[in-house]
């Protein structure tokens, strides 16, 4: 049962890594009135899962997980650099790096792994950027969490975070947010399975409109979130 405790811990939306300070571009979508009610908020989260996270951060969780199983630090560092290059919006790139660093700080106090120590040293030497998806995938593997469950946990915490932000930004009622989360369970499960089977050539699939709106967030007249 230890892997279950580890899964619950690493995918806890309230984990103190600073995720609550980032809307991942949602604030722009709300100010542009693209997301303005429960239906459009649910559509936003669903599209993030199916058309963005699956091909980007979710895919990197899976690839980092597999490289960690093989104790392949070189591949992990290459994945980190690839992930960094694909995050064009500065705020999104910096947020991912900060979340990854904080995740390491939490878990290394109680879990010591030689591979993670080598990765952290590479971050200190500026050979890696500590992206959250890479760190999440590594820890999921090192903690013995099965890949399917690790991906579901990653998609769950990502969705819960976006929904929490939507409740504040749109705004929505707390029950509206919970209704959206319930409706996304099957999509999270399906997306996790599709991520496992994803063609490597599709990793990093472009999300131009999302990137542009994330970049516009830097210049919004008023902002509640850092990204």
pTM higher than 0.95, yes or no? Answer: yes
For the chain, which residues score pLDDT lower than 50? none
Q: Where are the alpha helices (DSSP H) in the chain?
A: 2-10, 26-31, 38-47, 57-69, 73-86, 90-107, 114-124, 132-142, 147-169, 174-196, 208-217
Say what the pLDDT of residue 207 is: 84
The pLDDT value given to residue 120: 97
> What is residue 56's predicted lDDT score, i.e. its pLDDT?
97
In angstroms, the CA 108 to CA 190 distance is 32
Query: How far is the C-alpha of 60 from the C-alpha of 181, rounded, in Å?
Result: 23
């Amino acid at each position: 049962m230890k892997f279950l405790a580890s899964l619950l811990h690493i995918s806890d939306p309230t984990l103190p890594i600073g995720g609550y300070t980032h809307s991942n571009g949602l604030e722009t979508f709300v100010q542009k009135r693209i997301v303005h009610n429960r239906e459009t908020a649910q559509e936003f989260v669903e599209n993030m899962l199916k058309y963005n996270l699956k091909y980007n951060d979710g895919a990197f969780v899976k690839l980092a997980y597999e490289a960690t199983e093989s104790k392949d630090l070189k591949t992990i560092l290459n994945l980190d650099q690839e992930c960094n290059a694909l995050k064009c919006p500065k705020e999104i790139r910096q947020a991912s790096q900060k979340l990854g660093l904080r995740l390491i700080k939490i878990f290394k106090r109680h879990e010591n792994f030689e591979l993670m120590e080598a990765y952290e040293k590479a971050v200190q030497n500026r050979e890696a950027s500590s992206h959250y998806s890479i760190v999440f995938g590594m820890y999921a593997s090192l903690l013995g969490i099965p890949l399917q469950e690790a991906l579901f946990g990653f998609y769950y915490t990502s969705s819960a975070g976006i929904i929490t932000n939507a409740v504040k930004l749109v705004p929505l009622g707390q029950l509206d947010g919970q209704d959206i989360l319930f409706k996304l369970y099957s999509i999270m499960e399906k997306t996790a399975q599709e991520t496992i089977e994803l063609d490597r050539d599709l990793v990093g699939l472009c999300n131009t409109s999302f990137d542009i709106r994330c970049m516009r967030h830097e210049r919004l007249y008023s902002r509640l979130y850092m990204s």
